[in-house]
Amino acid sequence: MINSTVSVIVPCYNQAQYLDEALQSVADQTYENWECIIVNDGSTDNTGETAQVWIEKDKRFTYLLLENGGLSNARNSGITKAIGEFILPLDADDKIAASYIESALDAFEKDDTLKVVYCKAERFGEETGIWNLPSFSLFNLAQKNMIFCSAFFRKKDWELVGGYDAGMIYGWEDWEFWIAILKNGGNVECLDQVGFYYRIKSKSMLNQVNKDHSAYLQEYVSVKHADFFVKTFGSFAFLNTQHDDLKKEYEAKLKSEKFVIDLFCKTFFGFKLFKK
């Protein structure tokens, strides 16, 4: 078994009411060589007081206070401070299974080509049950994210891509980050066990991404990682040709269907529905 230190990074912005559950799930890990950095992203609630209890209880917990700068900045600040070879982000309102770190490190030990290890997930809170996500492939990743934030990666890979992109101001920072570290190679493994628990609330960052924000984020990621999307889907010229071919095919089919309908109507009713 690898004996590397794992750094669990827990950003918290006004989520103190959930923080104890998240930190307890870290404390319950069967693998003991970890540190947990609680990053207070300028909270106005009692996040600091809650964190202090854990710092006094277990020296593996440490605390970092920031002015509010957003999720990407909070994660990056915590990872910068981290001493671990492996990083595990954990949002303050979620939690992990007791064997998650141990199982992930076992996977890294068995396969040194792995860049990312994650697991099956379960929802809790206002909704419960298995969180069914598409299986990972680069092609699937190019369309939407299927790796939640609480997946393991090496700190050196985070450094190589410059960390989480603060330009993802409306969310989806995980999607951009996974594209950044995986587009040039490296394997991914999804553990065959539930290791992550995602809290469902009536209001979360995922369901707050509106149509305009979604369009901005799609465009931002498409421009930043144009090489990845071209490699996955083909060049823009190729896509345009495909679009034109599909349009012509549809128009031909539509014209054919109109001809059949008009022939039927003319034969039996004496009129046509469509003008030439």
pLDDT tier at 210, thresholds 50, 70, 90: confident
Q: Do residues 77 and 67 lie in contact, with contact meaning Cβ atoms separated by under 8 Å?
A: no
Residue 108 pLDDT: 97
Residue 212 pLDDT: 84
Compute the distance between CA of residue 36 and CA of residue 101 in angstroms, rounded to an integer. Answer: 12
Residue 238 has pLDDT above 60, yes or no: no
Average pLDDT for 174-203 = 95
Q: Which of 103-107, 185-189, 204-208, 218-222 has the lowest mean pLDDT?
A: 204-208
Within 8 A by CB and 6+ apart from 58, the residues are 27
pTM, whole model, 2 decimals? 0.84
Residue 252 has pLDDT above 60, yes or no: yes
Q: Do residues 48 and 114 lie in contact, with contact meaning Cβ atoms separated by under 8 Å?
A: no
CATH number for the segment(s) 6-233? 3.90.550.10
Residue 131 pLDDT: 95
pLDDT tier at 244, thresholds 50, 70, 90: low
Compute the distance between CA of residue 44 and CA of residue 48 in angstroms, rounded to an integer. Answer: 9
Compute the distance between CA of residue 44 and CA of residue 73 in angstroms, rounded to an integer. Answer: 18
Residue 214 has pLDDT above 80, yes or no: yes
Average pLDDT for 247-257 = 62
Give residue limits of the domains in the chain: 6-233
Residue 8 pLDDT: 98
Residue 268 pLDDT: 64
> Per residue in 261-272, pLDDT tens?
666 666 666 667
Q: How far is the first Cα of the chain from the last one, in angstroms, to the nearest whole number?
A: 74
